[in-house]
A and B are shown apart, each in its own frame.
Chain A
Amino acid sequence: MAKKTLKKIMKLVVNTLIAAIFIMPFYWMFLTSLKTLVEAIKVPPNFWVTVPQWINYATAFKAIPFLSMLKNSIIVATGIMICQFITVIPAAYAFARFQFKGKHLIFGIMLATMMIPPQLIFLPVFLMFSKWGLINSYASLILPFASSAFGIFMLRQTFMQVPEELLEAARLDHASEFKILWRIMLPIARPTVVTLVLFSFITAWNDYFWPFVLTTNNDVRTLPVGIASLFNSSSGVNYQIVMAGNVMLVAPVLIAFFFAQKQIIKGFTYMGEK
């Protein structure tokens, strides 16, 4: 009995410790965003605030062109999503359902592109866009991600699991290829599509690297770049402002994660579980 209780307590302690390690930084971010500068740099620090300084959010909001950057973020993320919709679905369907010469080669090339991170090729892509005069354009932020090898792979798996008979039944029912894709395949693949949409939207929303290296002014820069510039623009340690900005960047993702946890986890861990 005693041993069992001890084990339970041990488990509780370990669980709390693990949770603390992963929650604490987020809590600290939120807490700091509500402190005054003096409170923020107080040693020893307070673990709560008596008077929340919501003004920090307003300060962060004003320090950067927040709304226009938010607009840019939404345009870029939505643009990427729509483009992926157009390119990924037909490609996944073709790879899953048709036999054609060179299919395996093309598919192999596509898989290989998954191994190439943007951090490896940003320089040549930057040079390409500058040659086309498209630096500081939405195109330079959207087009490179207008297709997704990962998305094609995932959707193809889903399409392949649909039994062949279903398509044959549809053909006997006078359905055209387009109708089969639109009325039968896509509804079946809906959970996968939702997962993909969430994945690509969150990835685009979070991305700092690409908009940072592909833009030179604030015209099309997205929120993460703006939040980062809070740090540069603030003289001295104004962490409460930076944290306020970060809360605004992180909150939508955390809210989405809270409501669509299953799909988001599935989207982000899909490759590993194959």
Chain B
Amino acid sequence: MNKIELVNIAKAYEKGTPVIEHLNLNIKEGSFTVLVGPSGCGKSTILRIIAGLEKETSGDVLIEGKNVSDIAPGDRQIAMVFQNYALYPTMTVRENIEFGLKNIKMPKAERQAKIAEISKLVDLEPYLSRKPHQLSGGQRQRVALARAIVKNPSVFLMDEPLSNLDAKLRSQIRTDLIELYRKLKTTFVYVTHDQVEAMSMATDIILLDKGKIQHRGSPADIYENPSNVFTARFIGSPPMNILSVEAIDLEDRMDKESDLIGKEPISISSIGPHHARYVGFRPEHSRIAKRCPEMNDLSINELFLEGIVQSREMLGDHVLYKVKTKYGEVYVKSFQLNMVDYGACHVVLNPKDLMFFDGNQNRIETDEERCYT
């Protein structure tokens, strides 16, 4: 069942180009939906339209099937966590949490009980009488969460809530949020520019660019089956290597010798569909090999690409190489921890890991053509 539906939403500000045009989007009941995309893709605008903080230029917003376009933000049964937490600086933690309850004239006893319950849930009990400026970043974050939870909303909206925290705290609160989501069993709508956050927490990812949905699906789906070049390049760290097929073809013809070869030289266009314009592979689906000694190790279907190691980063469980090839720079994530020297090398690929994209940068699904035999 759809919790939130956006129907034909458009948003334009007085000056400049429209941010969103004709967007249709639905968010499932009980899902942890992450809106992710580069800055300026319209993700925050969408969240704010759902919250009612910004008015859509046209279209309808439906929450539980009811059009809420004319309903004030406070009456939409939602709670929001802001990027900078937006805690009321002159109120104590308790008053911050209480403010929304007081405004709906909840009786005092009930308020007290709720605050006690929530502050236990998010570990804020010792800090209730402090002011926000006396708290650490993580504690402020928890106050913001508590303030949202206490209202018992049917939807949680979160606008980059982790971006003001340092890396360590961020990953900790990420797991906290997952636990919280499982405990509360309500709908979460979460906005971020960080694909790691999206991948780690979401049940549903909606990837946006320039106000349009580029891909939507589960984290596994978006990783394994990116529907276009943008998605492929956005998800994964480092993202997918994308090379232009035409460039490789051209080189082939001139050199009469392919760099992407198996047992015998082959053109990349010959293994992909005929209308493929781009080929991509994930750094973690490639290997790195020194030229000569390991040539024989190639299994039958494997291809390789000549290159020069530009940089290497030892990251503990893997080594990340940046390799310069004739067709552009590619990243290789190698789990072989003894590092390959700088200089000439080969990037080894399995053809089944290659993904092809057409001239519009859309994915070409080619199960039968994908394998090279």
Q: List residues of A whose CB falls within 8 A of some B CB.
A: 163, 165-166, 168-175, 179, 183-184, 187-188, 190
- The 4 A-B pairs at the shortest CB distance, nearest first, are namely A173-B100, A187-B90, A174-B103, A174-B74
Q: Write the nearest CB–CB distance from A193 to chain B, whole angstroms.
A: 12
* In contact, A163 and B84 (Cβ under 8 angstroms): yes
Set of chain B residues within 8 Å of A172, measured between Cβ atoms: 51, 53, 73-74, 78-80, 100
Set of chain B residues within 8 Å of A175, measured between Cβ atoms: 74, 99, 103
Partner of B82, one of A169, A173, A184: A169
Q: Write the nearest CB–CB distance from B149 to chain A, whole angstroms.
A: 13
Give the nearest-CB partner of A176 in chain B: B103
Q: Write the nearest CB–CB distance from A190 to chain B, whole angstroms.
A: 7
Chain B, range 68-100, C-beta contacts under 8 Å to A: 72-75, 78-80, 82-84, 86, 88-91, 99-100
B104 interface contact, C-beta 8 A: yes
Give the nearest-CB partner of A175 in chain B: B103
Count of chain B residues with a beta carbon within 8 Å of a chain A beta carbon: 24
In addition to A166-B86, A175-B74, 19 A-B residue pairs with Cβ atoms within 8 Å of each other are A163-B86, A165-B83, A168-B73, A169-B147, A171-B73, A172-B51, A172-B53, A172-B78, A172-B80, A173-B74, A173-B99, A173-B151, A174-B75, A174-B100, A174-B103, A174-B104, A175-B99, A179-B103, A183-B99
Interface centre among A169, A170, A171, A183 (most CB of B within 10 A): A169
Query: Can you list 16 contacts pairing A with B, beta carbon distance less than 8 Å?
Result: A163-B84, A166-B86, A168-B48, A168-B51, A168-B80, A168-B82, A171-B73, A172-B51, A172-B73, A172-B74, A172-B100, A173-B99, A173-B100, A175-B74, A175-B103, A184-B90
Partner of A171, one of B53, B88, B104: B53
Set of chain B residues within 8 Å of A169, measured between Cβ atoms: 80, 82, 86, 88, 147
Q: Write the nearest CB–CB distance from A258 to chain B, whole angstroms.
A: 27
Contact mask B7-50 → A, CB, 8 Å, 1/0?
00000000000000000000000000000000000000000100
* In contact, A165 and B86 (Cβ under 8 angstroms): yes
Q: Write the nearest CB–CB distance from B279 to chain A, whole angstroms.
A: 44
Q: Write the nearest CB–CB distance from B103 to chain A, whole angstroms.
A: 4
Set of chain A residues within 8 Å of B73, measured between Cβ atoms: 168, 171-172
* In contact, B86 and A168 (Cβ under 8 angstroms): yes
Give the nearest-CB partner of A166 in chain B: B86
Set of chain B residues within 8 Å of A188, measured between Cβ atoms: 89-90
A17 to B193, alpha carbons, bound, how many Å? 62
A175 to B75, alpha carbons, bound, how many Å? 11
Q: Write the nearest CB–CB distance from B164 to chain A, whole angstroms.
A: 12
Set of chain B residues within 8 Å of A184, measured between Cβ atoms: 88, 90
A165 to B75, alpha carbons, bound, how many Å? 18
A169 to B53, alpha carbons, bound, how many Å? 9
A188 to B90, alpha carbons, bound, how many Å? 6
A51 to B151, alpha carbons, bound, how many Å? 72
Q: Write the nearest CB–CB distance from A182 to chain B, whole angstroms.
A: 12
